[in-house]
Amino acid sequence: MNAEILTVGTELLLGQIVDTNAAFIAERLAEAGIDVYCKTTVGDNPARIETALRQALARAQVVLCTGGLGPTEDDLTRDVVAAVTGRPLRLDPAVLAQIRARFARRGIPMAKNNERQAQVPEGAEVLENPRGTAPGLLLRVEPDRTVVLLPGVPAEMRPMLTEVVLPRLREAYGLKGQIRSRVLRTTGVSESKVDELLGDLWAERNPTIALLARSGEIHVRLTAKAEGEAELTRLLDGREAAVRERLGDIIFGRDEESLEVVVGRLLRERRLTLAVAESCTGGLLGHRITNVPGSSAYFDRGLVAYSNQAKTALLGVPAELLAARGAVSAEVAAAMAEGMRAAAGTDLALGVTGIAGPAGGTPEKPVGLTYIALAHAGGVAAHEFRFFTDRDLNKQRAAQMALDLVRRHLLGLPPVPIL
């Protein structure tokens, strides 16, 4: 079985919003064992929507469309699909009642144009949308085609796809094979180094291996295909064990597990607290740590000490040290971490200082040079990093390496230089 994805919206073509719907749908279809050969995006233009839909129906058994189901004049997908499939639109009283009830619950009047969303192509199955006013629609088209219309709002589209549409497609087309992916997240190493470490595992099939480069991370994606969950789990567990044997402790998490979540869990398990003193990262480190729900259990405070005066006044970094070694130096990073730990009274404290760029570098201290220090009961150690990218990426990678220093310290591992 194969499928195509058609996303509708002029805002997608203008680049005003990122088309996350197509990526989500493609991933879920792959997991269900459904091949996707083509994805198309068109604007809110009826002729172009019609052309794209007719082409998709000529190639694929299932066409999934998102967007264009709203109440406004430029929401045209429903009308075009009705015309292409030869199903006249009819007002569905049950759908209209649901829309009216939704407005009543919110205590606001329903606009007249919301009635358009109750227009349903004849013979279509209505897919209830408890999270919005645009119902989904599923149409069987002879001889062996299915058109699915989904809302464009991701929070409405995603549960409708996974909870309603995919079970119907699996049943209708007798799908047995499933594809499942698992992601192992590494940090502190380059993509080429991970490639080298994996060695002959690249030749293996089912599960296959793919590398995905992210900011400060390399993800190793394992993808298996089988007919049941037990077999999928067996295949993925076996390949994950082999990859972990090759990559070791540079793997910090799996799937959606971020580095700050891992660090938070380790701190909580050990009943330790953390504070951070940031210069070049400008609060990014504290932001990531506090993005984790429950971080107040282990995170005491964060301080952005950007100027030399702030480093001296708030962290006790000696002015003489700043003058002698410069703000971007191992000695100042260490003094920032020690000063932060003393001020906060925490078990651990980080100090981060560097040259984010694009200006401010010198031959001796180029843009991207960063020092990160971790202070703890056993002392303080500062580490040098050279990121050599743009300002945003330098900040992101500094925060990433700072978190990884904490992780490695808590696990009793040596700090790893970027490879």
Query: What pLDDT does residue 216 have?
Result: 87
Q: Is 361 exposed, middle or buried (0-12, 13-18, 19+ CB in 10 A)?
A: middle
- The owner of tokens 């909870």 is 163
- The owner of tokens 């279809």 is 29
Categorize the per-residue pLDDT at 363 as very low, low, confident or very high, splitting at 50, 70 and 90: very high
For 246-283, write each residue's pLDDT tens digit: 999 999 999 999 999 999 999 999 999 999 999 999 99
Distance, in Å, from the CA atom of 4 to the CA atom of 36, rounded to the nearest integer, reads: 6
Name the residue among 37, 26, 53 with its Cα closest to residue 2. 37
Query: What pLDDT does residue 417 have?
Result: 59
Which tokens sit at 276?
């951070």
Mean pLDDT over each residue of the chain, to the nearest integer: 94
Counts for the chain of helices (H) and strands (E), in that order: 15, 17
From first CA to last CA, the distance across the chain in angstroms is 43
Share of the chain above pLDDT 90, in %: 84
H/E stretch holding 126: strand 125-127
Residues 6+ apart with CB under 8 A from 410: 263, 266, 267, 270, 272
For 171-214, write each residue's pLDDT tens digit: 888 888 788 889 999 998 889 999 999 999 988 889 999 999 88
Name the residue among 317, 353, 359 with its Cα closest to residue 338. 317
Name the residue among 360, 350, 325 with its Cα closest to residue 408. 350
For 85-102, write each residue's pLDDT tens digit: 999 999 999 999 999 999
H/E stretch holding 277: strand 274-278
Cis peptide before 207 (omega within 30 of 0): yes
- The owner of tokens 């996707």 is 36
**Rounded to two decimals, what is the model's pTM?**
0.76
Residue 419 has pLDDT above 60, yes or no: no
**Cβ neighbours around 17 below 10 Å, total:** 11
For 308-319, write each residue's pLDDT tens digit: 999 999 999 999
For 294-338, write each residue's pLDDT tens digit: 999 999 999 999 999 999 999 999 999 999 999 999 999 999 999
